[in-house]
Amino acid sequence: MAVIAWQGWKLDFPEGWNPLRLEGDYERGQALFVDLERPRIGLRWEKPRRRKFDAARAIDCAMKEEVGQLAADEAKPFKMLHAEWQVSKLYIEPEPPGRDVWIGYSGISQRLLQVVYHCQKRDKALSEAILPDVEDLDPVKAMPWAIFELSCMAPAGMKLAEQRLMAGDLSLSFADKQRSLSVRQIALAELALTRMALEKWLANQQQVEQKHYRSNGQTKPMKILADNHELTGVLGHLRRRRRFFWNRRLAGELITYALRDSGRDRLVLLQGNDEGLMQLVAASVGWNQRNEPAV
């Protein structure tokens, strides 16, 4: 099983199920995961905005819209392992192929989550392997993210601003009102470094901001240790160009890291305006391949 952490949801999926579509934000969105043959599972979540909200009624309505009234009447309450799920229901397709549907309401984020499992034959993958480990993570704490082979911990309060998920080149960008941070991972490091030296990768990352910033052309070596895990590389600085002094939304300085994660054979590139925060996030990269995050 592989850990998936996205927009506050944490699930375990079989390896080989990869995201085809990731849309929306923390309050409302959807995701579709597929294998090489067909769609396997879909997620849809929403934070209700009504003042008077009845979770049980909302779940019944959502189930009716998804599978129809007759099938919705056959849905049964489903007990979850984690206490945040106040109420949930599961519908099992009696004659596959078809769809098994689970809908639950979490008290932590006050969101409804709908999980649709595309089953080709009668199995218990959804009820026994996937649903028991579904978690709604506390948004007040640092938030784990894990998609494909990129995983990191985003500081509390920072939201996903941009995603770029290409084969072998993955990046997530986070921001709040004062801080910004991007995390990029490139595979494989040994192969990537035969194309360009680490300093060149750093300069390449800095060019993304060349319109508003300029580099001083200097780098210095650095090392990050975390949980018996070591990343080594170089860092560089970018200064805001003088003609943009009036734009207070642009930080005066950006820091860029270019690191090699030898244990996982990955290049890790980070860029942001808070170096202390960057060190914490850099140390968390790859958490789902080493250990569970401390949230």
- How many CB atoms neighbour CB 275 within 10 A? 15
Are 128 and 172 found together in one domain? no
Residue 213 lies in a domain: yes
Which of 89, 111, 136 corresponds to the end of one domain?
Answer: 136
Look up the domain containing 198 and give its range: 143-289
The CA–CA distances, whole Å, from 186 to 93, 133, 233, 273 equal: 41, 29, 14, 22
CA distance 52 to 49: 9
pTM: 0.92
In a domain, 295, yes or no: no
Please tell me what DSSP assigns to residue 125: I
| pLDDT at residue number 51 | 76
Q: Residues 39-55: pLDDT tens digits?
A: 999 999 999 987 788 99
pLDDT in tens, 78-127: 999 898 999 999 999 998 899 999 999 999 999 999 999 999 888 888 99
pLDDT < 50: residue spans in the chain: 292-295
Residue 68 lies in a domain: yes
22, 65: one domain: yes
Residues 48 and 148 in one domain: no
**What mean pLDDT, rounded, does the chain reach?**
92
Same domain, 203 and 221: yes
| Secondary structure (DSSP) of 179-210 | -EEEEEEEE-HHHHHHHS-HHHHHHHHHGGGT
* Dihedral angle sign, alpha carbons of residues 285, 34, 59, 87: negative
**According to the model, what pLDDT value does residue 81 have?**
87
Q: Pick from 99, 143, 183, 199: which is nearest to 5 by CA?
A: 143
What six digits make up the tokens of 87? Answer: 């109420």
Could you tell me if 147 and 273 lie in one domain?
yes
**CATH, residue 196:** 3.40.1000
Query: Domain ends where: 112, 136, 160?
Result: 136
The number of folded domains in the chain is 2
Note whether 40 and 33 are within 8 A (CB): yes
Residues 185 and 252 grouped into a single domain: yes
Q: Which residue has the tokens 């060019």?
A: 207
